[in-house]
Amino acid sequence: MHAAWGHRTVCGQVWAGLGPFPGKPGNPWAKLGVMDGLQDRKIILGVTGGIAAYKSPDLVRKLAAAGAEVQVVLSAGATQFVGVAALQAVSGKRVRQDLWDPDAEAAMGHIELARWADMILVAPATAHFIANLAGGQAPDLLTTLCVATRAPMVLVPAMNQAMWANSATQANRERLQQRGVRLLGPAFGEQACGDVGPGRMLEPAEIVAELDQQSSAPQQDLAGVRVLITAGPTREPIDPVRYITNRSSGKMGYALAAAAAARGARVTLVSGPVACTCPSGAQCIDVETAEEMYRAVMGEARDADIFIGCAAVADYRPAQAAPQKMKRKDASMSLELVRSPDVLASVAQLSPRPYTVGFAAETQALERNAGSKLKAKGLDLIAANLVGPKMGFDTEDNALLVLWPGGSKRLQRAAKSTLATQLMDLIVGRFKRVPRPIDMTGSD
């Protein structure tokens, strides 16, 4: 077991961090007390050649209404789907398309334009554009701006579901996220080609709301609050080379740790073996087995204000791990398994105890099974999700049903980073409302 202070997150979606920006009068949303994260932001909106490009004028209008100054840059393919005149009218700026346009370059050269931007937003972002960007290719004006800028980049992918699932596209997505490029969506649903699956562009209103939320300084409503989180799978050894484990990637637990740290919490993340990097501001403790996770958590739990059990802890482990590699002998063999400690239930039984949140991964009867776990383990709140092929485990997005004594809320399918923020909102709201029991056993 070792502890490490992390620097950045590579699991889930990475937000490059736009930092706070002061709101100014003039934004109609700001007057209502909402949407001032985009006030006076200079945004290059790149539009590439997908059918969703027809929504671009609406997106420009909504960005402008939120206070942003928008410069539209079209790829060659985009002009097949959206008119230059419409974009020019709504943005109030000449639309840029060509790296070799001498008039436009004389007004503001591409390097100047790349420096001008506070953010480059590409919506829709096609598989071709994503591949170019991942490969550092700059064959046109938009890709050149992306290579030349130091501004944060946000891509809103839109493509056929098979193109999105293609392993080359997924590898490109992963490379970009590891470089700090933020992705919004894609959403799941019916596509222009008739397919159903992930690949739809988020709606303009959703894009603007998401950007606004991320551009605003995160509320420090967990300042000083100690949050303990478990994540990932555990590995239960059979012999020195074999073990029992499960499909958990740790992405949700790491996204929750990042979301809590961004709100000012003092986060300790106890994690099984995963391919994620410790989130910035969190203290990470690496463990392998359920027993190690139990000991690490019980060592920290009394000092925690909130505990979130997000790990997929192995319920059973081999009664005895063979000291040497087991040899193939008989036609069949049996393993004797014994129960592992239930980390979550053990934390819930502490007195006093932290505000205790569990997860339930179910293949059926989600609400009933999660409701039973909430009661049986005596939790304050439980987040339940369906798991199965391409659902829940080792995926980029998820949907949650959140239950607490006397209430529930459905969180619609979204990126795990978005869900983590929404779940933290619920946890923070309830944590503040539910009074903590007073320790009657301790000395003064």
Residue numbers of the site for ligand CTP (CB under 6 A)? 230, 290, 309, 311, 313, 315, 340, 342-344, 358-361, 373
Residue type present at position 43: I
Query: Minimum CB separation from ligand CTP for residue 125, in Å?
Result: 35
Residue 264 backbone zone (phi > 0: left; psi -120 to 50: alpha; other: beta): left
Cα 90 to the chain's mean position, in Å?
32
For 227, the token pair is: 């949050």
For 140, the token pair is: 């046109």
- 49 or 232: CB nearest ligand CTP: 232
Bridge partners of 42, per DSSP, are: 69
Per the residue annotation, which of 11, 193, 284, 310 is the catalytic one?
193
Q: Among 153, 164, 215, 156, which residue's Cα sits nearest to residue 184?
A: 156
Query: Minimum CB separation from ligand CTP for residue 253, in Å?
Result: 9
Q: Is the dihedral of CA 36, 178, 150, 284 positive or negative?
A: positive
Contact indicator for 6, 284 with CB cutoff of 8 Å: yes
Return the H-helix or E-strand segment holding 303: none
Contact indicator for 240, 256 with CB cutoff of 8 Å: no
- 59 or 310: CB nearest ligand CTP: 310
- 102 or 389: CB nearest ligand CTP: 389
Query: Minimum CB separation from ligand CTP for residue 376, in Å?
Result: 8
Query: Minimum CB separation from ligand CTP for residue 331, in Å?
Result: 30
Q: Is 283 helix (H, G, I), strand (E, B) or coil?
A: strand
Whether cis (ω within 30° of 0) applies to the bond prior to 352 is yes
- 178 or 422: CB nearest ligand CTP: 422
**Contacts for 384 with CB less than 8 Å, ≥ 6 apart:** 359, 360, 361, 362, 366, 367, 369, 370, 400, 401, 402, 403
- 91 or 246: CB nearest ligand CTP: 246
Distances, alpha carbon 199 to alpha carbons 75, 179, 187, 386, in Å:
20, 22, 6, 21
Cα–Cα distance measured from residue 388 to residue 225, given in angstroms and rounded to the nearest whole number: 35
E-strand spans in 145-224?
153-157, 182-183, 187-190, 196-200
Reply yes or no on whether 193 is catalytic.
yes
- 282 or 344: CB nearest ligand CTP: 344
- 130 or 343: CB nearest ligand CTP: 343
Return the H-helix or E-strand segment holding 56: helix 56-65
Query: Minimum CB separation from ligand CTP for residue 340, in Å?
Result: 5
DSSP string, 316-337: EEESS--SSPPPP-SS-----E
Q: Would you name the residues annotated as active-site residues?
A: 193
